[in-house]
Amino acid sequence: MSNRVVCREASHAGSWYTATGSQLNAQLEGWLSQAQTTKRPARAIITPHAGYTYCGACAAFAYKQVDPSITRRVFILGPSHHVPLSRCALSPAEVYRTPLYDLRIDQKVYADLWKTGMFERMTLQTDEEEHSIEMQLPYIAKAMESHKDDFAIVPILVGALSESKEQDYGKLLSKYLADPSNLFVISSDFCHWGQRFRYTYYDDAQGEIYSSIEHLDKMGMSIIEQLDPISFSNYLKKYRNTICGRHPIGVLLNAVEELKKNGIDMNCSFLNYAQSSQCRNWQDSSVSYAAGALIVH
């Protein structure tokens, strides 16, 4: 038997973001220098997962709230874009590569999660094809660089969960969310608008299409800030907004709900919002991005 370490390659480096470490480092530093620290230390952040030219600046507002001196574990919850999945899945890898430095998976937490019987094992191919977790890795590496030998990651691929499953996973993960040495990274873009996304909701009272999209997204963001999973669920049912990380967000809201029962006081706020472009006519398309942070008092 070989003892070779199973590594997940940085498969989107060179296309979705630069594969050159020094260049990537400079870009991340540039974006982070433009963001303010207002909600530190965040226990959870909501952050986009598009190519960095589109969302790098927005994501910086979330990562700026991370305190590396207290963080020992980073849970990353990303939606599955390519494989049908009705539960959550864990990676077969032990190490995730980034152009900055390698991140190791916390095998003890993985073993504890595996024991619950609630997780599937994704293949390495599925893991490497998926971008929702990978796009967080360089930012995590950058935010944590001053303590790079002191932390591990817990990547979780989140399937198309029913509301009751979101509740189950929220309950399960709530004990980890309660621990100040853990950070949760919730990977999600917001509205995917246009015919290519089969979503063209438009409220003409808002004026231009891009204003209608912003109004719709900000309605969802303010519901997330209320930390109420049922309201968020109802909003999604009503407007069908194409928030691709709605299930990871749902799991977080349910974990928060569980902690609220124990009298833990939290608040969530969004710090930045952006669109890939401004839609003005029916031929246009855009994706929205938002950066948010959850603080535990």
State pLDDT tens for residues 76-106. Answer: 999 999 888 999 999 999 999 999 999 999 9
CA-CA distance, 105 to 95, in Å (whole number)?
A: 6
* Tens digits of residue pLDDT in 172-185: 999 999 999 999 99
Which residue numbers in the chain have pLDDT < 50?
A: 1
Residue 2 has what pLDDT? Answer: 55
Residue 275 has what pLDDT? Answer: 98
Element (H, E) at 153: strand 152-158
Residue 39 has what pLDDT? Answer: 82
CA atoms within 13 A of residue 179's CA, in its CB half-sphere: 13
Measured in Å, how far apart are the chain's first and last C-alpha atoms? 49
Residue 40 has what pLDDT? Answer: 84
CB contact at 8 A, 122 and 83: yes
Q: In what order do the strands lie in the sheet with 7-8?
A: 7-8, 95-96, 103-104
What is the average pLDDT score of the chain? 96
Residue 141 has what pLDDT? Answer: 98
CB atoms within 10 A of CB 282: 11
Tell which residue, 280, 260, 279, has the closest CA to residue 268. 260
**What is the token pair recorded at 26?**
């400079």
Residue 69 has what pLDDT? Answer: 97
